[in-house]
Structure 1
């Protein structure tokens, strides 16, 4: 009996020891699992919310719309565990913190995380013992406007973990106590059944605990489909297993929600940039070494910014939703297997088309037909806020594996082709070609070389004489810009002027040209008596004309050079004033009051030249060289030129004829009463030194 009791006691001791080990194992593993899941879920949530908030703040930050920024920041601040939300500019200065008065507005961020945040090129996650900081840059294209930071408190997460671990430990302790009482009673009542009781305990207690521990490890690894054996037992183990099963389902549901937020565009419901990139990578990986083609259509809505600027961003969002429905309907019209439509960002959409090997379909033909259908569909007007809006779409098409072998190159090539579609007049589509890529590279290279060209002495000014048609007396010169590159040689003015316009370099070069021309004209006045009434004409680009500092630049050039205002003639095209006639007319009117002369260049080639003479104050018009070139051969050009001269004289403005290349053209224009003329027959463009000799 003593031996039997001893064996029973040893058995009970072993069971107790095994139970305690199992308890420690499940508590430890469960606590690790809960900590990992809570941390990962908070991190995923922070990254997703930060990325979405960064996308939502692009336009508000660009236009310094503090109200819109505050509204977006306030929505995030109300989320649980969020301690702060900071929006900063590209220099790290605070733009908004969600408060009403923004006491630290404009101050540079100086907290321990700030230095890494300001220098980060992409999304950055930092943490310490009490805080998780997630920052995301805010960009437009390659330009970084600033960024947004969201701070999550880790105190709540730790408290929840400790409370749940304590609760689980208490429950396990309670279970252990109850079963130990039962074991003791069974041992005292029937020692013979001790072995059977031990087996029952092993089956009913230790095995479920180990199963839960194994399940916790699987869930920790992200395998939410793991099976948890839930039965109808009504004891604490059964409660624990059912609670663990519900916890697994809850974690899996939250994971799906987070993934949906991370991979879905919230406005249109389409796949977002991240989902598209992962899908594209997966498709390309599946197609490696196999036949078949994949086409990528990179689409951008033309002039969409005009909707946001005129009707507001809510109307812009409504327009995007309508465009999404139209694009999706157009894609469904085509019998294409596994097409994918995604919103790449802003007003950009990407469509993936795939044709398996042996289908017999030509993917290029399918892509071209779909692109043409999209152009036709988007061109139809849309009704927004009781207004009809007309927009277009530009589409670039690139094909794998013909054009590129990676997702990055496919997206880049699609963007290049789309840009070429816009350059071709918008509302159309273009296929990617190597020539387009090389042209883009040349354009980028030219833009890089144009930066600093003035300081390096590569840019220079020449002056084409303007003569009075009556007696061929020199009355003025037109300033022309030339670029002599050490490697590229002479670069045509229309080419590099267009590059300067598109890149914004004209904002730097234009004022330099204006100032240098005024200084040169004043120098001629001081040196030559005949140059006292010699005017100098300077071309003004549309970008300069729309600048808010345009008038100030003119004033500065006249002040620094000492040139009388009436000897400065500004030449601008009628397309430069389209869209803002009222403001530009006011600016030009103030300059004319000072004495500056305004000329309308390339007159007769636009859509509404006569209308601009009425709405924009000018002192004269310049007949485009295309009319002068065929003056002697084309009766229509002669009639039109004569009509322009008569019309201009009837309203009291001067007429200049460009491109006078022959004596016959000169005589006809003189007989028709043209006031001034310029061209190679009257005088080619001259350097400053050659003008000195001419004036001497």
Structure 2
């Protein structure tokens, strides 16, 4: 058996030979250790002071810059609550002595307190002058405070600034404590190691002096090779040569272990890079990879005259999948959508097309082959067609659709940021146009987005300001012409913009989520008014209220209705809820469950705009509804179009066979009324009978008809 003389045995043999020499040198080494300890304490104190000072400046600049970015919108809109919340969040930092926000006229806007005692006044402190005059970040200090001032801008316009004061007293206290702890640790380490230092230093010097040549050949040189390889790996170069040889000692084991480690690090680096630039769910490139690739492509295209098209796509109503079926179903939907989009890009986008998932339900595609406008149009149509087909998820069929915004380089923008912004705006316009389609970006879209944002801001608080009101359109029985109820309709009279069409502001309320607060208010007002009608005597009247798809998706509609009926005292049978056909049948199972709960209370449910959706009357057997409202587009052409007359007649007959009441809306002529009455339509409403009127006018109308 071959004897293995390891490194430890070799060093022990060398140490025994030089032990006598080491004893002579030991005293000198101890003295040197004491000198080094004192010098390290001095240097460490200076280093700690330098690090604290550097940290204060960098922390102050980062905090001031972050606040300047985050405060731009709140300061621009004078949102003191949002400004105060941002400042109070940062005031929790013990280093922060004060935070001051001032406007373009150098007046104090907020100091993080609830009182803001200096609000609107010029700031009197000695540092204020230079802070307010600054057009770039400025640092200044007093013995107690280090202040960083940064201007706040919206675009290129300066709208104010923020001053961040960091307490030097607190920083000095931290510095002193850190220095004391470091000195204590150094002293403790020195005490623990002093006993061993004699032997360790003596052995080290003995080995270096007596066996320098031998150690250099057998130990130092191989270790230097390993160190050089480690530095190359640290720099990101994993193509290092293998060091493992035939050495049968610890260094040989180390070399072979180092080889295995370098291979594992290289594999790990490849995996990390793949994870950093790849979407984990779909396997597509992610936002980071897409941004890098787009920047690279744009740099190659600038000045060449060639074009590039960016398609910004968002799956329609995807949130509804997560809310109703759960996130696992949402992931399955995303995988199916990604597969369909990838196939469309492969067939129509060209070899250089780039597909990425931005996160959530957003996908982005870049095409640059041939006539990019034509290619982008063809690809967008293919993607819309693919996503129009039903998805099979958890044994259900879902129809979602996709909205796509298209923007061109360099026609619309020349930077990656601007292109993605334009694509997002165009996608938003595609959603506003009815979803499941595409739109090319145009300059006018920027103004449209601004107008929509302005309208959303104006709509917030419109109910409290008394700009919104509820009007009522009578619903009449065809057999005797009597008013049996009314439909409650929301109207907006803006003090500056005048009357705003419901088709405009209802859509804004639906998209922004404001409908979730407006809907219950309209419902409560309508129920309260219906109770006043009952006091007039005569036939019991109903009131019908429109329910938006967003309210239906929330799932708490039965609870809201029950609370409203309880507060107003209106009998449940006098309340009719109108839901659009597509809103009910998009998720038939959830809608059926909610409507069943409503039915159990006695509330009636009608399908509004019936005949314009994607379903047939066969669905009515599975969804519990009490009535359908024939869409006004069929009623308008009853006299001229035989097909509309035949379809209307069929709807009435089939609905009656299922025990469902039929209501026709949009009756504007006597001939239309007569045709509907002849065919057995139960109820009608429209301008020929009455325009929508205020609550007071409707009450007068009832009073006249009861006399």
For Structure 1 versus Structure 2, the TM-score category normalised by the shorter chain is 0.5 to 0.7
1:577 aligned counterpart, secondary structure: helix
- Equivalent residue number for residue 110 of structure 2: none
Q: Which residue of 2 aligns with 1:406?
A: 415
What is the distance in 2 between the residues matched to 1:689 and 1:387?
48
User: Are 2:552 and 1:552 equivalent residues in the alignment?
Assistant: no
The answer on 1:561 being equivalent to 2:575 is no
What SS is found at the alignment partner of 1:563? coil
Matched, 1:626 2:655: no
Cα 1:660/1:390, change in 2 over 3 Å = closer
Of the three residues 306, 309, 315, the one matched with 1:295 is 309
Which residue of structure 2 aligns with residue 8 of structure 1?
none
* CA drift at 1:673: 4.5
Q: Are 1:465 and 2:443 matched, yes or no?
A: no
CA contact (8 A) 2:399 2:586 kept: no
State which of 211, 224, 231 in structure 1 corresponds to 2:237: 224
Equivalence for 2:272:
258
RMSD: 5.1
Which residue of 663, 668, 671 corresponds with 1:661?
668
Say which of 172, 177, 181 aligns to 2:210.
181
Q: Deviations over 1:491-541 (max 9, x none)?
A: 211222223233332222111111111112222433x345x6333222223
How far apart, in 1, do the equivalents of 2:509 and 2:289 lie? Answer: 37
**Do 2:349 and 2:375's aligned partners in 1 also have CA atoms closer than 8 Å?**
no
- Which of 278, 289, 292 pairs up with 1:278? 292
Which residue in 2 is equivalent to 1:442?
Answer: 451
Against the structure 1 CA distance between its residues 633 and 304, is the aligned structure 2 distance closer, same or farther, given a 3 Å change threshold? closer
- Where 2:466 maps in the other structure, the secondary structure is coil
Corresponding position of 1:364? 373
Structure 1 contact 230–241 (Cα < 8 Å) conserved: no
Residue 521 of structure 1: aligned partner = 530
Q: Does the Cα contact within 8 Å between 1:381 and 1:388 map onto a contact in 2?
A: yes
Distance 1:366-1:251 versus aligned 2 partners, 3 A rule? same
**When the two structures are aligned, how many residues end up with a matched partner?**
515
- Aligned to 1:686, the other structure's residue is in SS state coil
Could you say if the C-alpha distance between residues 379 and 541 of structure 1 is closer, same or farther in structure 2, counting changes exceeding 3 Å? closer
- Quote the residue 1:573 is aligned against: 580
Query: After superposition, what is the alpha-carbon deviation per residue over 1:651-675, rounded to whole angstroms, capped at 9, x for unaligned?
Result: 6554433222223333444444544
Q: Which residue of 2 aligns with 1:159?
A: none
In the alignment, the residues of structure 2 paired with residue 478 and residue 679 of structure 1 have an alpha-carbon distance, to the nearest angstrom, of: 11
Aligned counterparts of 1:663 and 1:624: Cα–Cα separation in 2: 18
Partner of 2:499: 490
> For the structure 1 residues 461 and 253, does the alpha-carbon distance in structure 2 shift closer, same or farther, using more than 3 Å as the test?
same
Shift of 1:446: 2.9
TM-aligned CA deviation for residue 211 of structure 1:
8.7
Query: Structure 1-normalised TM-score?
Result: 0.60
Q: CA deviation at 1:460?
A: 0.5
Query: CA 1:366 to 1:647, structure 2 compared with 1: closer, same or farther past 3 Å?
Result: closer
Q: 1:175 to 1:279 in 2, by over 3 A?
A: farther
Deviation for aligned residue 1:461: 0.6
**Which of 480, 500, 504 is the matching residue for 2:513?**
504
Counterpart residue number, 2:609: 602
Structure 2: distance between partners of 1:259 and 1:173: 48
What SS is found at the alignment partner of 2:561?
helix
Shift of 1:482: 0.5
Most deviating of 554-563 and 203-212: 203-212
Q: How many angstroms apart in 2 are the aligned matches of 1:288 and 1:638?
A: 60
Instruction: Quote the Cα distance in structure 1 between the aligned partners of 2:480 and 2:686.
Output: 15
Q: Deviations over 1:530-565 (max 9, x none)?
A: 5x6333222223333444322222222222122233
Question: Distance in 1 between the 2:477 and 2:397 partners?
Answer: 51
Residues 170-179 or 649-658, more deviating = 170-179
Q: Is the 8 A contact 1:232 1:238 kept in 2?
A: no
1:288–1:210 distance in 2 versus 1, CA, 3 Å: farther
Matches within 5 A, 1:164-243: 177-178=206-207, 180-182=209-211, 222=235, 224=237
1:270–1:342 Cα contact (<8 Å) kept: yes
CA-CA distance at 1:304 after TM superposition: 6.6
Q: Rate the CA distance shift 1:561–1:262 in 2: closer, same or farther, 3 A.
A: same
CA contact (8 A) 2:652 2:679 kept: yes
In structure 2, distance between residues paired with 1:386 and 1:536: 38
Moved more, 437-446 or 546-555: 437-446
Structure 1 window deviating more from structure 2 (643-652 vs 545-554): it is: 643-652
Alpha carbons of 1:382 and 1:211: their partners in 2 closer, same or farther (altered >3 Å)?
Answer: same
Change (3 A) 1:488 1:243: farther
CA distance in 1, matches of 2:386, 2:656: 48
1:637 aligns with 2:650: no
Instruction: Note the alpha carbon deviations across 1:544-599, whole angstroms, 9 max, x for none.
Output: 34443222222222221222333323333333321555664565455455443443
| Structure 2 residue matching 1:271: 3-state secondary structure | coil
SS where residue 507 of structure 2 aligns? helix
Deviations 1:41-63, CA, capped at 9 Å, x for gaps: xxxxxxxxxxxxxxxxxxxxxxx
- Measured at CA, do residues 412 and 214 of structure 1 come closer, stay the same or move farther in structure 2, by a change above 3 Å? same
State the shift of 1:277 in Å.
Answer: 1.8
Task: Go from structure 1 to structure 2 and tell me whether the alpha carbon gap of 1:291 and 1:489 turns closer, same or farther (over 3 Å shift).
Answer: same
Distance verdict in 2 for CA 1:525–1:372, change over 3 Å: closer
Q: C-alpha distance in 2, partners of 1:239/1:372? A: 64
Which ranges of structure 2 fall in alignment gaps of 5 or more residues? Answer: 1-24, 41-91, 97-188, 194-198
SS of aligned partner of 2:408: strand
Question: How far apart, CA to CA, are the structure 2 residues paired with 1:485 and 1:171?
Answer: 88
With over 3 angstroms needed to count, the CA separation of the structure-2 counterparts of 1:352 and 1:540, relative to structure 1, is closer
Q: Distance in 1 between matches of 2:488 and 2:391?
A: 46
Are the counterparts in 2 of residues 228 and 245 from structure 1 also a CA contact under 8 Å? no
- Alignment deviations for residues 160-182 of structure 1 (CA, whole Å, 9 cap, x no partner): xx9xxx9xxx9999887445225
172 and 300 in structure 1: CA distance in 2 versus 1, 3 angstrom threshold? farther
Q: Report if aligned partners of 2:219, 2:251 keep a CA contact under 8 Å in 1.
A: no
> How far apart, in 1, do the equivalents of 2:252 and 2:202 lie?
14
1:526-537 matches, cutoff 5 A: 526=535, 528-530=536-538, 533-537=540-544
Alpha-carbon distance change, 510 to 374 in structure 1, aligned in 2, over 3 angstroms: closer
1:682 to 653, 668, 689: 689
Equivalent residue number for residue 43 of structure 1 = none
Task: Please give the residue correspondences for 1:73-152 in structure 2 after superposition, counting only pairs within 5 Å.
Answer: none
**Conserved? CA contact 1:339–1:352, under 8 Å:** yes
Cα 1:657/1:383, change in 2 over 3 Å? closer
Whether the aligned pair in 2 keeps the contact of 1:619 and 1:653 (CA below 8 Å) is yes
Structure 1 residue 686 displacement after superposition: 1.0
Aligned partners of 1:653 and 1:668: how far apart in 2?
A: 19
8 Å contact from structure 2 (residues 226, 255) kept in 1: no
